Amino acid sequence: MTAAITLGPLFWHWPAETRRDFYFRIADEAPVAAVSLGEVVCAKRAPFFAPFLPEVTARLRAGGKQVLLATPAVVAGPGELAAIAEAAAGGALVEANDITAIAALDGRRFVSGPLVNLFHEGTLDVLTRAGACRFVAPVELSRPAIARLAAHAPDCDAEVTVFGRQPLAIAMRCYHARAYGLHKDACRFVCERDPAGLQADQLDGAPLLRINGTQTLSAGYLVCLREIAGLLADGVTHLRLSPEHGMDMVAVARLVGRVAAAALDPAEAEAALRALTGPAPWHNGFLHAHPGMDWVAAA
């Protein structure tokens, strides 16, 4: 069984033109089937990219990509709910990253995003009854748990993130602004100064986390290439990549696609990917039921 390669929403606050050009290249060159657009972390950032959305959407569709609209992880007011409802009524396939957003979809088909707390079959039942046609597993789920969910709802596609920094938490307060001596309401969008997040280290100096506005992510990259064959055997239908600053995401997509098609040995793919990521830590612990920051090496 082969899988569709997808590109998740951009978590980082990049300049609007940089973001536009990134998606133009994805549209023209990346072997991905679907792309999620939309501001997930902070609704205050959304107006910067809004003027480019129609052009980017058209370019992606012209490149054969399905386009999804990703909702904020924290829907903070009726205005955001109304915008979600309007987009869904206009025919957009929504990736809901907040259970509140699902209520605004009025029974329309949607994708349950990785920030929805989906950890057991009962929650999946609720989501599919509400209209979920695909779920993106939270990064904390182990492979056996993902397999149980995929088997429980065979008519609902299953998607797993296999590359990118792991989204771990999101809050109403902005740690990024506080780090620069500011507060959220007058943040001056300082998160743009750190297009790959603000690194937080352990006491021994080893990298631990990345701060991105109100969001906390892993410092290192989630890398699950050797696990792809097993995931596909478990019923996973989509493999997700998360956009990263300074990373050749087209090259990453090609590597993942070749591994998924059994055209490239995972060990060879890992060697090629290491040349792209540099010495940054790699993580795959959650998928193996280990602590998330662990790297479970090949047996």
One-letter amino acid at 242 equals S
One-letter amino acid at 38 equals G
What does the pLDDT read at residue 36?
A: 98
Mean pLDDT by 10 residues, the chain (299 residues): 92 98 98 97 95 97 98 88 89 93 91 97 97 98 98 98 97 94 94 96 93 97 98 98 98 98 97 97 97 88
Tell me the three-class secondary structure of 34-71, residue by residue. EEEECCCCCHHHHHHHHHHHHHHHHHHHHCCCEEEEEC
Distances (CA, A) of 103 to 130, 132, 277, 290: 8, 12, 39, 34
The set of residues, in sequence order, having a beta carbon less than 8 Å from that of 21 and lying 6+ positions away, is: none
| Helical ranges in 202-265 per DSSP H | 228-233, 249-260
CB atoms within 10 A of CB 186: 7
What does the pLDDT read at residue 1?
A: 60
Domain regions of the chain by residue span = 4-166+220-288
| 4-166+220-288: CATH topology | TIM Barrel (3.20.20)
What does the pLDDT read at residue 76?
A: 81
**Integer Cα distance of 286 and 75 in angstroms:** 27
CB atoms within 10 A of CB 154: 9
Task: Tell me the pairing of strands 207-212 and 215-223.
Answer: antiparallel
Distances (CA, A) of 293 to 25, 30, 139: 31, 28, 11
The set of residues, in sequence order, having a beta carbon less than 8 Å from that of 105 and lying 6+ positions away, is: 84, 85, 88, 94, 96, 130, 131
What does the pLDDT read at residue 299?
A: 54
One-letter amino acid at 219 equals A
CB atoms within 10 A of CB 238: 20
Cα Dmax for the chain? 52
What does the pLDDT read at residue 298?
A: 73
Query: Phi then psi for 216, rounded to 5 degrees?
Result: -120, 130
**Integer Cα distance of 196 and 88 in angstroms:** 31
